[in-house]
Amino acid sequence: MKDITILGIETSCDETAAAVVKNGREVLSNVINSQINIHEKFGGVVPEIASRKHIEAISYVVEEALKQANMTWDDIDAIAVTYGPGLVGALLVGVGYAKALSYALNKPLVAVNHIEGHIAGNYITFKDLEPEFLCLVISGGHTHLVQIEDYTKFRILGKTMDDAIGEAFDKVARVMELKYPGGPKVDLLAKQGDPNKIELPKVHVDGLNFSFSGIKTAVINLNHNKKDIKKEDLCASFENSVTKMLIQNTKIAIKEYNFKKIALAGGVSANSYIREKFMELGKELDVKVYFPELKLCTDNAAMIASAGYYNYIEGARADLTLNAIPNLKLDRKQ
């Protein structure tokens, strides 16, 4: 069987990324140009600045990905690009560049959902992982419990009804005056605190859905009004509360649908406390737990190329009318 090599392009937020991946699993290059230092002084991503920086970086990043993979354009079978969800201006840079390459080089274009890309990060880390399995997607913009029925077929079992978990982490970090990106800073500070020190509200949501807004607000109010509370204990208690919610719904889904495998995906899946508790859950329920390696948790193009590969072999193609869809849903196809 002929090898299939995909160039992936990712510009959904503040990383300009390009990667070359063979057969969906073998990463030949994965180049990321991060804007963290630029947005750090603003305490979060400024969309207009992110878009401009993508324009400045994308040509170099794509060329560097080819160079590191020791490939020419003749070696590339298709171009996969994130077209949503994300910041519309940022997405448009990647989509526009990918369409131009597709047209100029006469290469097939494959549209990839960013969330689908995060899920595919597990296929790179674990060469033997195959559907069906349960995936918990936890990132700055999403909190989804997803049944992975096949490589390109998904069923959302539960999702957040308000804030995404990563958004809650970032807002908690901001009120505590921790630098952007806030999630890793909260995780680090929480290691020095007591996760059971502070009682935070227990939130009930119907079905397998999530809600993080109440817990986030409680932490913010405590930080403002109770000056004797240690930030370390507040971070640890917050982390413990949101992790319990993730564990509770995941456990219900595993038992209800009889899953034997669960994967985590997205930037928040890099959190050390969440990883520890999910490993404990795996042992408790005798299910195998998968985490992407840390560099594949945050936004990158290798995961987009991997997802693009599975769409490509199923015959999915986009044309030059492809547009960015900032609020794209996981179960929508271009």
Query: Which homologous superfamily is 130-292 in?
Result: ATPase, nucleotide binding domain (3.30.420.40)
Q: Compute the average pLDDT of residues 264-270.
A: 95
Residue-level pLDDT at 272: 95
To the nearest whole number, what is the mean pLDDT of the chain? 93
How high is the pLDDT of residue 334?
55
Domain ranges of the chain: 5-120+296-313, 130-292
- pLDDT tens-digit readout, 78-116: 999 999 999 999 999 999 999 999 999 999 999 999 999
Confidence of residue 286 (pLDDT cuts 50, 70, 90): very high
pLDDT recorded at residue 36: 72
Chain centroid to CA 220: how far?
A: 25
Please give the CATH architecture assigned to the domain spanning 5-120+296-313. Answer: 2-Layer Sandwich (3.30)
What is the C-alpha to C-alpha distance for residues 281 and 36, in angstroms, rounded to an integer? 33
φ, ψ at 78 (rounded to 5°): -160, 160
Same fold, 5-120+296-313 and 130-292: yes
Asked if pLDDT for residue 289 goes beyond 90, the answer is: yes
First vs last C-alpha separation in the chain:
28
Question: What mean pLDDT is predicted for residues 171-185?
Answer: 86
Alpha carbons within 13 angstroms on the beta-carbon side of residue 317 total 9
For residues 209-220, average pLDDT: 91
Mean per-residue pLDDT, 309-315: 97
Strands of 199-266, DSSP E: 261-265
Q: What is the pTM of this model?
A: 0.94
Residue 332 is predicted with a pLDDT of 65
What Cα–Cα distance (Å) separates residue 257 from each residue in 109, 113, 134, 334?
A: 35, 25, 9, 29
